[in-house]
Chain A
Amino acid sequence: MTIEMNSGKDCARAWEIMPWALQATAAPGQREWLMHHLAQCEACSAEFAQQSRLRCALSLPTDVPVDAERGLKRLLERIDAPGAEAAPARRWSSGRLTRALAAAVVLQAIGIGALGVRLWSDQAPQYRTLSRPALLEPAGALRVVPATGMTLADWNKLLHDLGLRVIDGPNDAGAYAVVPAESASSSASALRKLRADRGIRLAEPVDNTP
């Protein structure tokens, strides 16, 4: 979009100055230059006359009827309404309110986090993975190392016959921790039978005491 005026740069300069000359905020030198230009340029003179008329029209009071006193009365009623504080100085600004709410959220987050940590530490899972450190074996537990050639079927049959169940292992040495399925009193008998079995390389009681 270009400004089609007669004298190029001068007209463009006049166009720029016009609003501020009408506001009386243009520098005195600019206004003087503009008046001189308008005296010589019919197009800019017509444009300036139109802008003067535009300013005059825009300065008229609005024709939309809005009653100031009625509006003021409603505003004061709104200020006096329950829940609206009377004096600005005593009010919390929205900024302070926002900061207070943010602080409350942070405190809640910290509380929830602390509670989570507490619950996590209190509730050990009902399962364990083989990568976790070995548990302390219960009384009567036996440490057993099957022979290399022992099949899984033989191992399962032996455990079944002796009433044992695996509670841990194998560890790095290939040892399993087993306990009697019924009672601790049978662990000594189970130990003897395990040691007598050719498929078992090592069988010994687990001693948890240091």
Chain B
Amino acid sequence: MNEPSSDVDTRDRMLLQRMAAGDRAALETLYRAYHGGLTRFLSRLTRRADLIEEIVNDCFWIAWRKADSFHGDSRVSTWIMGIAYRCGLKALRQRGDEPVDDYALREGHGPSHDPDEDRELRDWLGEGLKHLSADQRIVVELVYGVGNSLDEVAAIMQAPVGTVKARLFHARIKLRNVLPALAGDAPAQRENRS
């Protein structure tokens, strides 16, 4: 899902067609293909693993039931991400959780002593995302993490393109102001040192 292509979308459309006919194996394949990406996407809304699992399952429950209603107006990934986004917001509303507070309270990333570069990147990212609203985090995730276009993000969030563009702009401004300080040293220096 991170590298969307026409091949991937063709595969996904075939899986949806099979799901519409009641093919559970197709459901299992699609579930496994999207689980990682959806989990990461939803982790921008909440850090609760149990809630993320529930939202992913709600999403695929709907996808299973509505597979025959997918008419190919968008990529399958856009359709599924849109369902997941709405399920995520609904789940948080039902629990009275605020995505922003939930994220900020549970992120809990302090300075990492883990030498692993991935861990360091996650810490850096986690601290930076704390400064964004939930909507801004979602837009950043979809554009930078998933690789969606503005039109696709607008379809997923069911928001006007202009609104998405504004969210992305403000998110980038905030990140531009906080990320360098969080990095501690410049990326170029880090590369030279390693």
Instruction: Give A contacts to B, CB under 8 Å.
Output: 1, 3, 15, 19, 22-23, 25, 46-47, 49-68, 70-72, 74-76, 78-79, 86-91, 93
Contact = CB atoms under 8 A, between A and B. Distances in A.
Given A50-B180, A79-B64, A60 B32 contact: no
Nearest to A52: B187
Given A1-B173, A64-B49, A71 B35 contact: yes
A1 B170 contact: yes
A23 B143 contact: yes
Categorize the interface residue count of chain B. Answer: 35 or more
Contacts of B176: 47, 50
B122 A78 contact: no
A103 B57 CA distance: 32
Contacts of A54: 125, 128, 140, 144, 175, 179
A72 B28 contact: yes
Contacts, number: 129
A76 B53 CA distance: 13
A72 B31 CA distance: 7
A74 B186 CA distance: 45
A64 B67 contact: no
B22 A88 contact: yes
B2 A68 contact: no
Given A1-B173, A46-B186, A75-B31, A56 B121 contact: yes
A contacts with B: majority SS: helix
Given A57-B125, A58-B144, 20 more contacts: A50-B187, A51-B144, A53-B121, A55-B145, A59-B145, A62-B43, A63-B43, A63-B122, A64-B47, A66-B52, A66-B53, A75-B27, A75-B57, A75-B61, A78-B57, A79-B24, A87-B22, A88-B64, A88-B67, A89-B21
Contact of A88 (B19, B121, B149, B188): B19
B86 interface: no
Contacts of A1: 170, 173
A91 B121 contact: no
A68 B37 CA distance: 11
Contacts of B52: 64, 66
Given A25-B149, A50-B180, A64 B39 contact: yes
A32 B104 CA distance: 39
A22 B57 contact: no
A28 B178 CA distance: 31
Given A47-B176, A64-B43, A87-B21, A75 B143 contact: no
A86 B22 contact: yes
A146 to B, nearest CB: 77
21 contacts: A49-B188, A53-B121, A53-B183, A54-B175, A57-B121, A60-B118, A61-B36, A62-B36, A64-B39, A64-B43, A65-B49, A67-B53, A68-B31, A68-B35, A70-B53, A71-B31, A72-B31, A87-B22, A88-B64, A89-B68, A93-B66
A62 B21 contact: no
Contacts of B170: 1
Contacts of A71: 31, 35, 53, 56-57
A78 B65 CA distance: 12
Contacts of A91: 65
Contact of B179 (A15, A25, A50): A50
